[in-house]
Structure 1
Amino acid sequence: MTTPPTPEQIRLAPKALLHDHLDGGLRAATVLDLARETGYDRLPAQGPAELETWFHEAASSGSLERYLETFAHTVGVMQTVGALQRVASECAQDLAADGVVYAEVRFAPELHVEEGLALEQVVEAVLEGFRLGTQAAAAAGRSVRIGTLLTAMRHAARSSEIAELAVRYRDAGVVGFDIAGAEAGFPPTRHLDAFEYLRRENAHFTIHAGEAFGLPSIWEALQWCGADRLGHGVRIVDDLTVGVDGAPKLGRLAAYVRDTRVPLEMCPSSNVQTGAVASVAEHPIGLLRKLGFRVTVNTDNRLMSGTTLSREMALLVDAFGYGLEDLRWFTVNAMKSAFLPFDERLALIEDIIKPGYAALGAAPSAR
């Protein structure tokens, strides 16, 4: 019988994170500080605890569109170089404190130009913030590496511009590209020019697909756009049926996703909040893990979900009876799927992740 890890073991375990939004992970107290500094006067609450509660409750409506509305307030206070640097620095420090050793954090530069910043200034401010944050974490005895993804909004028309920006800064800390926003009515094929450019430049990209919309979104992201990974990808279960023998049967798309090892950036708490699944216990991550899909565990938006990667893993331990070996499996999956050079991924797996889990008592992993 699998022995469930304790919360402290989960926190200490070296973890890898692929799907985390910078504007969804602010500290509530920082939102309030920045609002005062920048003159932003539209916050729905004026105390850290009250504001944190408001974000969580507003994001738990069961609607992706309503969930996305909460970002007006975080983005609203992230319009200066100082604000962007502070948020990025605190992000790196918070992830390191949670035992995350590698994280890919994404943000949309086009959302941070309302006060006159150029796109390049936005990117450079965030990269500098991550540098300062990882430096501060190291001084506190914690090591974390941050890779940045530049996101284009799927309802807008700046994806080619953002893709070019991602390529321009890929030797300065930007590791990939993404599109995000409401899926319904805004298919990824609207941004084919950006994806074709990225492929020509041998650049990595992921696409939010199969979160609130179904299989067509996933199919387009993979077969039309050539995505390296799927952001969420929850609705791939719509291509699974139960055979007469009671065993799951994979449709053509689901089989393709599993056979080609397409990484799924799954975010359990967020998916419950937006109504993509009814509960963590009913999240398809449990079935997909059993079937051998390349599943990873992620936070999505730590402020809106009131979560950390340790908390997401603890929820899965409670729901599915996972042990440390399962958490290591998710972590290695994430590291294998990271937008880093192969040798750097391998070094993190062999030198940090596997020894870290072994020190906590995880059984040796099969090679």
Structure 2
Amino acid sequence: MKQQQFHDIVTGRDKSVKAAVLRFLMLISSRFYLLCVNIRNLLYDWKVLRVENAGKPVISIGNITAGGTGKSPTVISVCKYLTDKGLKTAVLTRGYKGTAQTADEPEMIAQRCRGTMVIVNKDRVAGAKKAIEKGADVLIADDAFQHRRLGRDLDILCIDATEPFGYEMPLPAGLLREPLAQLRRAHAAVITRGDQVPAYNLTRITSVLQEYNPDICVAESHHRPVEVVYADGSNHDANALKAAGVVIFCGIGNPESFKKTVEACGADIKAFEFFDDHHAYSAADLRRIAEKQSETGADIILTTEKDWVKIARIAENPLPDKTSGYLKIEIEITEGKELLLGKIDEITGSK
């Protein structure tokens, strides 16, 4: 099932009989899924399933919903903060579907965080041991909120302000990986894309988080566009997008958020094409996108950094070198920064 089709079904936008039947089946499936998740969590709570301690500080950065929540930019931001303090940092990731193949996010993290080890291993405990053997001082467990086998000293959740709680239904009837009651396990939450929603939405999200976990540290953040990096290696400030005609495309969990980020730069979006999350691009896909530039007269073809990692691997890339590239994004914490960094400093022993 395509990503957009799934969202249309679970939100009720698709009102066809077929969609109604699928919603019913998804609801039944979600009950079984929720039962399995609850049993597994209870087994960890009751210490029937064992937690492995790494012997070094572990920071988990994950989410409670499926889809794009701004987790990768948050991982990159924490990595840079730790390495700037002189700590040798390693990121533990399982890759996409537990493999290093098409592992766009690990490759992007490795490129942005020079000097940081990126260990791709679906067994994060084994990955942690390998990282420590290579001299890591701190371990960042990417997308590990549900991976309870590896012990952690700090659990940070990324909450997408544009769809914070996954339609408040567990997979596959919604996007929740776990019931909201499990928010009690988190030490901190970073609300991402806070600039894309009204202020009262942020207040509501914080209230829900604190309802389930009164002690949680809540930070708010924006996705800040930094620069446009072109295929030929040149780069320009993101302000260069102002009034520019652009064709945008992406294969991420929240494509609308990317569109809003580009619009906030003042760009005139001539065409927008989105693919499923982790889409494996072909030369034919890129030719079609290049044709859209010709058809619309757009100045620039633009995608996300995560998508560009995969596109750069295509030998016969038909996109123009001088007018195609990606928008580099950084997480900017606007509220709760000192509290969040204080928790990181506390568990890493740095000041």
* Fold shared, TM-score > 0.5 on shorter chain: no
TM-score by length of structure 2 reads 0.32
More strand by share: 2
Larger RCO: 1 or 2 (CA < 8 Å, sep 6+): 1
Larger Cα Rg: Structure 1 or Structure 2? 2
More helix by share: 1
